[in-house]
Structure 1
Amino acid sequence: MITRVPRVLAVLSVCALGATLASCGPAPAPRETPGAAPSARPPSTPPPSRPPTLAPGPAGLTPVFHHGPRDQGRTVALTFDADMTADQGPRAAAGERFDHPRLIATLRALKVPSTVFMTGRWAEEYPDQARSLGRDPLFEVANHSYSHYAFTGDCYGLPTVPEERMRADVERAYAAFREAGVPAAMPYFRFPGGCYDRRALRALTATGVTAVQWDVVSGDAFATDADAVARQVLDGVRPGSVVVLHCTRSAAPVTERAVRTIVPELRRKGFRFVKVSELIGAAGARR
């Protein structure tokens, strides 16, 4: 999301390898010795849990999440939009940088769990970085559309996705993540520009995503004053807040410097950094 208005916001069956490979059935249970203590059995491994999502909204529409509970501790989620619009390939080829490796390195050095809302086009341009983020437990990768085209009209000058292509655009982003090697992108979606309406929510219902907005606008897009960005975040954060920032070097050049101020100051105030999934899980548990 790039806006120019800063405040607007086993049991695997294995053949026994012995005298013969003719039998491939399950191994017999071990015999218990009478009077002996029962032999220890390996604990069963629970199936992997699915990421938390919100229940559908009214009329079954895609649910929209803005922030976590205000009364369950001082948690805050920093989210970073990895923007690249479908038609920006020539600009990237000419040397414009839509990634921000130094910012990601700083988040790792500061050990800040974060959620990256990535466009499919960004994953195609920077597959190694997408894969690195997707395989690092410090981060979770979520969907920011494939094209970074708007899902409504009149959204900060972005081109518009036709309604009949909205679902396909989201699914194409997930396909791009898989192609880049992201193993498990989250079922969360952020509308480009943060712009959505009932029509867009209805179009994405079949994808099963939870739409994630925010309650703190950092104002880092096109900003040149890192201190001003930091102040805006620090002034706005409340327990459960979701902060929107960017990890596109050319469009948000001071974000990394702002983060180096934001993180220690919020920790000094007793805040704990979490991923969006934790806030959604806490919100869902209250329903």
Structure 2
Amino acid sequence: MISPVRHVRLARGAVAACILGAALAACGTTSASRPGRPAPAPAPASSVPASPTPSGTPSLAPGPGGLTPVFSNGPRTKGKTVALTFDADMTADEGPRAARGEHFDNPALIATLRELRVPATVFMTGRWADEYPDEARSIGSDPLFELANHSYSHYAFTGNCYGLPRVSAGRMRSDVERAYSALRKAGVPHPMPYFRFPGGCYDKAALRALDGLHVTAVQWDVISGDAFATDADAVVRQVLDGVRPGSVVVMHCTRSAAPTTERVVRTVVPELRRRGYRLVKVSDLISETNDRS
């Protein structure tokens, strides 16, 4: 078990890293509403429609007043299932860093997931898909995985979200639509109708802005702490200590900013299976949630 002191240190380190890097999501909270500093707006969306996916894909019904629904975990009483999710993060302004040789992809992680036969849900920014179209197409065409939307720009949808620049209210919807366009342009045949807010930061205004896109906002209940982590064992302990039936675990598919994740997966997956957990995709957990029988 990870000690309380170590847990606090790890959590503080993850938050500090997010503030410094502003490149990764999933080290944040599920809500933020304080105003943030203005930031350059992302480019306008493509005119390609944003119909996310074929009918029949599991999703949640809209919330009160038609708000975009939010999913954080599956049922706790329908067996020991857990979904590993991976954010493929790249912000709209990080092209020069990629040009200088920084790697925002992680082919070794994807190869390990395939080797271990791990179903997984990957939340990908449109900018990542633009930078690595072959990898996006490979992931999105593999039935072992499902590929979902993590915005185009990886700019925040609220203020004060771990130092991320902010998308204006009028561009939130188009940023999501532009991400779907980028995924399709890369050759992803069926991007899922799931959206993960950059940094995990959202409020009612953000949920309302996405009304009509027919997406389910997917959060998590287990923070891996892999963002900028250098101690793989600490990340492993944090995941294993946090997992419960129906959990959604958030990790990253970004080599430069989450260098331990592939090693973490090699340890976590066999241990979860030893404990009787069945690894599933987010769509499986949503389907279980919708199944009232």
- Fold shared per TM-score above 0.5: yes
Paired residues, what number? Answer: 248
Other-structure match for 1:248: 254
Give, as a single letter, the amino acid of the residue that structure 2 aligns with 1:89. G
Other-structure match for 2:153: 147
Give, as a single letter, the amino acid of the residue that structure 1 aligns with 2:177. E
**What residue ranges of structure 1 are gaps of 5+ in the alignment?**
10-47
1:61 and 2:57 aligned: no
Other-structure match for 1:195: 201
Q: TM-score, normalised by structure 2?
A: 0.82
Cα distance 1:8–1:202, how it changes in 2: closer, same or farther (>3 A)? closer
Other-structure match for 2:111: 105
Other-structure match for 1:259: 265
Tell me how far apart the structure 2 counterparts of residues 50 and 99 of structure 1 sit (CA, whole Å): 31
Tell me how far apart the structure 1 counterparts of residues 292 and 244 of structure 2 sit (CA, whole Å): 18
Residues 156-185 of structure 1: CA deviation (Å, up to 9, x unaligned): 000000001000000000000010000000
Residues 142-162 of structure 1: CA deviation (Å, up to 9, x unaligned): 000000000000000000000
1:239 and 2:245 aligned: yes
Other-structure match for 1:79: 85
Give, as a single letter, the amino acid of the residue that structure 2 aligns with 1:269. R
Alignment equivalent of 1:129, drawn from 117, 126, 135:
135
SS of 1:77's equivalent in the other structure is strand
Give, as a single letter, the amino acid of the residue that structure 2 aligns with 1:283. T
Give, as a single letter, the amino acid of the residue that structure 1 aligns with 2:168. P
Other-structure match for 1:228: 234
Other-structure match for 2:191: 185
Shift of 1:112: 0.2
Shift of 1:193: 0.1
Shift of 1:285: 2.0
Residues 264-285 of structure 1: CA deviation (Å, up to 9, x unaligned): 0000000000000000111122
Other-structure match for 2:164: 158
**What residue ranges of structure 2 are gaps of 5+ in the alignment?**
1-13, 19-25, 30-53
Contact 2:28 2:162 in 1 (8 A): no
Other-structure match for 1:171: 177
- The 5 A counterparts of 1:197-212 are 197-212=203-218
List 4+ stretches of structure 1 deviating above 4 A.
5-9
Q: TM-score, normalised by structure 1?
A: 0.84
**More contact order relative to length (CA 8 Å, sep ≥ 6):** 2
Shift of 1:286: 2.9
Residues 24-46 of structure 1: CA deviation (Å, up to 9, x unaligned): xxxxxxxxxxxxxxxxxxxxxxx
Other-structure match for 1:18: none
Tell me how far apart the structure 1 counterparts of residues 92 and 55 of structure 2 sit (CA, whole Å): 33
Other-structure match for 2:43: none
SS of 2:75's equivalent in the other structure is coil
Give, as a single letter, the amino acid of the residue that structure 2 aligns with 1:119. T
Tell me how far apart the structure 2 counterparts of residues 272 and 131 of structure 1 sit (CA, whole Å): 26
1:277 and 2:283 aligned: yes
Shift of 1:206: 1.2
